[in-house]
Amino acid sequence: MAADMINWSLLALEPPGWGGVLLAGLMNSIKIALGGYSLGLVLGTGGAFGKLYGGPVMRDLMEIYTTVVRAVPELVLILLLYYAGTDLLNRVSAALGYGSVDISGLAAGIFVIGVVQGAYSTEVLRGAILAVPAGQMEAARAFGMSPLMVMRRVTLPAMLPHALPGLSNLWLICTKDTALLAVVGFSELTLVTRQAAGTTKAYMLFFCAAGVLYLLLTLVSGLIIRVIEARARRGWAAR
Amino acid sequence: MTERAEAIAVRDLCKRFGALEVLKGISLTAREGEVIAIIGGSGSGKSTFLRCINMLEVPSSGSVAIRGEEIALRSDRRGGLVPSDRRQVQRLRARLGMVFQSFNLWQHMTIIQNVIEAPMHVLGVPRAEAIERGEALLRRVGLFDKRDVYPAFLSGGQQQRAAIARALAIQPHAMLFDEPTSALDPELVGEVLGVIGDLAKEQRTMILVTHEMKFARDVASHIVFLAHGVIEEQGPPEQIFGDPKSELLKKFISSSH
- Pairwise CB contact (< 8 Å): B96 & A142: yes
Q: Where are the domains of chain B?
A: 96-172
Give the nearest chain B residue to A146 (CA atoms): B90
8 Å CB contact of A235 and B117 = no
Q: What is the CATH number of the domain that holds A116?
A: 1.10.3720.10
Q: Of chain B residues 45-74, which have a CB less than 8 A from chain A?
A: 54, 56
Report the domain count for chain A.
1
Q: How far is A234 from chain B (nearest CA, A)?
A: 7
- Which residues in chain B are contacts of A160 at CB distance < 8 A? 108
On whether any CB of chain A is under 8 Å from the CB of B86, the answer is yes
Give the H or E element holding residue A65. helix A56-71
A238 falls within a domain: no
**B chain contacts of residue A236, beta-carbon cutoff 8 Å:** 107, 150, 152
Instruction: Tell whether the model's pLDDT for residue A3 goes beyond 70.
Output: no
Q: Provide the chain A residues 214-233 that lie in CB contact (below 8 A) with chain B.
A: 232
Question: For residue B98, which residues of chain A lie inside 8 Å, CB to CB?
Answer: 139, 142-143
Is pLDDT above 90 for A214?
yes
* Residue A237 counted as domain residue: no
Give residue B234's region: left, alpha or beta (phi > 0; psi -120 to 50): beta
Using one digit for the tens of pLDDT, what is the confidence trace for B29-58?
999 999 999 999 888 889 999 999 999 999
CB-nearest to B108 from A145, A157, A237 is A157
- Residue A107: which pLDDT band, with cuts at 50, 70 and 90? confident
The parent domain of residue A42 ranges over 2-232
Please answer yes or no on whether A235 and B170 come within 8 Å at the CB atom. Answer: no
Model confidence band, residue A10 (pLDDT cutoffs 50, 70, 90): confident
CB A140 within 8 A of CB A154: yes
- The verdict on residue A149 lying in a domain is yes
Q: Is A149 on the interface with B (CB under 8 A)?
A: yes
> Percent of chain A scored above 70 by pLDDT?
97
Q: Strand order of the sheet with strand B6-17?
A: B20-31, B6-17, B61-66, B69-70
Give the number of beta-carbon pairs within 8 Å between A and B.
77
Least confident of A92-96, A133-137, B121-125: A92-96
CA distance B137 to chain A (A): 17
Residues near B137 by beta carbon (within 8 Å), at least 6 away in sequence: B115, B165, B168, B169
Cα distance from N-terminal residue to C-terminal residue, chain A: 53
User: Considering only CB atoms, which chain B residues are within 8 Å of A145?
Assistant: 90, 118, 121-122
- The per-residue pLDDT for B37 is 95
Q: Label residue A2 by pLDDT band (50, 70, 90).
A: low
What average pLDDT does chain A have?
A: 89
Separation of alpha carbons B75 and A56, rounded Å:
20
DSSP string across chain B: -PPPPEEEEEEEEEEEETTEEEEEEEEEEEETT-EEEEE--TTSSHHHHHHHHTTSS--SEEEEEETTEEPPEEE-TTS-EEES-HHHHHHHHTTEEEE-TT----TTS-HHHHHHHHHHHTS---HHHHHHHHHHHHHHTT-GGGTTS-GGGS-HHHHHHHHHHHHHHT--SEEEEESTTTTS-HHHHHHHHHHHHHHHHTT--EEEE-S-HHHHHHH-SEEEEEETTEEEEEE-HHHHHHS--SHHHHHHHHHT-
B122/A149 CB distance under 8 A: yes
pLDDT, average across residues A82-96 = 85
What's the confidence (pLDDT) of residue A114?
Answer: 94
C-alpha of B166 from chain center: 13
Q: Which residues contact B186 (CB under 8 A, 6 or more apart)?
A: none
Whether the CB-CB separation of B8 and B66 falls below 8 Å is answered with yes
User: Does B56 contact A234 at a Cβ distance shorter than 8 Å?
Assistant: no
> For the segment A149-197, what is each residue's pLDDT rounded down to a tens digit?
999 999 999 999 999 999 999 999 999 999 988 888 888 899 999 999 8
Query: Is the predicted pLDDT of residue A215 greater than 50, yes or no?
Result: yes
What is the mean pLDDT of the segment spanning A12-18?
78
Q: Which residue of A137, A143, A162 to mutate against B (max B Cβ within 10 Å)?
A: A143
Residue A83 has a pLDDT of 85
Higher pLDDT, A94 or B167: B167
- Is A18 part of a structural domain of the chain? yes
Residues of chain B with pLDDT below 70 are 1-2, 257
| The predicted structure's pLDDT at residue B1 | 47
pLDDT of residue B2: 61
CA atoms within 13 A on the CB side of A117: 32
Confidence check: pLDDT of A239 > 60: no
Say which of A136, A144, A149 has its CB closest to residue B106.
Answer: A136
Looking at chain A, which residue has its C-alpha nearest residue B155?
Answer: A237
d(CA A37, CA A110): 8
Decide which of A75 and A237 is more confident: A75
Specify the higher pLDDT residue, A202 or A16.
Answer: A202
Interface touch A158/B107, C-beta < 8 Å: yes
